[in-house]
Amino acid sequence: MKKSKKLILHIGMNKAGSSSIQSFLANNAAHLEKNNIHYPVSLHPQNKSIFATIRAACTKPIQKKILNYAVMEDYWHGLWIKEFTSKEENTIISSEQLLFFSQEEIRRLKTMLGQYFEQITVICYVRDFDSFVNSSIQQRIKNGSDSIIKQMNTLIDNCDYRRILNWMEICPDYDFCLRPFRCDAFYKKDLIQDFFHSIKLDVSGLEERIAPHDNPSLGLYAVLFLEKYNKKYPLMKKNKLNMERGLCHGRIPLQVMASVKDLPFRLDIGYSQEQVDEINGYIQRINRYLSPNDQLKLLHPKEGRIAEQLTTRIPKSFYLEVFTAYKAYLEKEADRS
């Protein structure tokens, strides 16, 4: 079997621009082909299908529920052949699922990739831990979680940095390119430009088409309000969408919350000495792959003020503005229909 020249694996860390990169790749797939770059959109814009299948083939309980091992093996092997024996010299895969592969799944994937590609480069964007935790907490509340504290503890205890280090340990022969997720560090101050510049592929002349941004950042009042709302009216009830949540049924349109005057959402998180020692160990290893100007910040033990921040009183004016903005949103949606 003739191998393709190069594979770029973009391991999408949470809250580090993965959706924007995937949107660009999916929307420009046809143009990328002309530049000798293959992006397999048929597997889902976020390349989810093929990796879900590989994980199923690695996890015995899931195998038994879906298909027997031999059938599953043939199925996902067929997907690889279809997508990776392309005429283009370069193939890009971008998926957040890659981050959560176990060591066994990484080994299995590495064996498969070796059949198709001569050179493999892994690119991953990383952000400062405190910034990552704040952004991830907000996202999880937007997704329906009802506990800021629970999500904070989960994110600290399950540091994503160690997941990318698993890849480095198991695939030392891959080229690893770690980039800081920070606008002032991006090539030409642009994430998409930085992505292609970092993997050394020329896409000059391509139209930048990214899906409209529908996941705006929220302020402190909005996040505290959603936490209370999710606790009183859970997103799901008896494994079904909770109709008690009102007209929105599911998630409140985030543009409504983002349009209201608010305080910045920046939790002052405290870290114990034990947590600092563990996380800084990961940070120091990751910093070896970053330039001196792009180093991730080390943590320091501190008390933090999160308990005080979570008792912040939400002013009545905020609720009134949310209701007004929500009414305007519903009227606009009604006019469209």
Q: Whole-angstrom Cα distance, residue 254 to residue 54?
A: 34
With bands split at pLDDT 50, 70 and 90, how would you rate the model's confidence at 75? low
**Confidence tier at 81 by pLDDT (50, 70, 90):** low
pLDDT of residue 299: 96
Query: What is the third-level CATH fold of 4-128+159-198?
Result: Rossmann fold (3.40.50)
* Mean per-residue pLDDT, 68-88: 57
Phi/psi at 118 (5° precision): -80, -35
- The per-residue DSSP string of 57-113 comes to HH-HHHHHHH--HHHHHHHHHHHHHHHHS-SSSEEEEEESGGGG--HHHHHHHHHHH
Q: Is the pLDDT of residue 241 over 50?
A: yes
Residue with the larger pLDDT of the pair 85 and 266: 266
What is the CB neighbour count within 10 angstroms for residue 314?
16
Residue 69: what pLDDT?
43
Average of per-residue pLDDT across 59-66 = 43
Contact between residue 55 and residue 108 where contact means Cβ atoms under 8 Å apart = no
Instruction: Answer yes or no: is pLDDT of 181 > 90.
Output: yes
Tokens for 188, please give them: 């030409």
Q: Where are the alpha helices (DSSP H) in 172-302?
A: 191-198, 220-232, 254-258, 273-287
Among 6-20, 66-80, 93-107, 305-319, which stretch is predicted with the lowest mean pLDDT? 66-80
What size, in residues, is the chain? 337
DSSP code, position 251 = S
Summary mean pLDDT of the chain: 84
pLDDT band at 77, cuts 50/70/90?
low
pTM (two decimals) = 0.83
Q: Where are the domains of the chain?
A: 4-128+159-198, 220-264+305-336
pLDDT at 89: 82
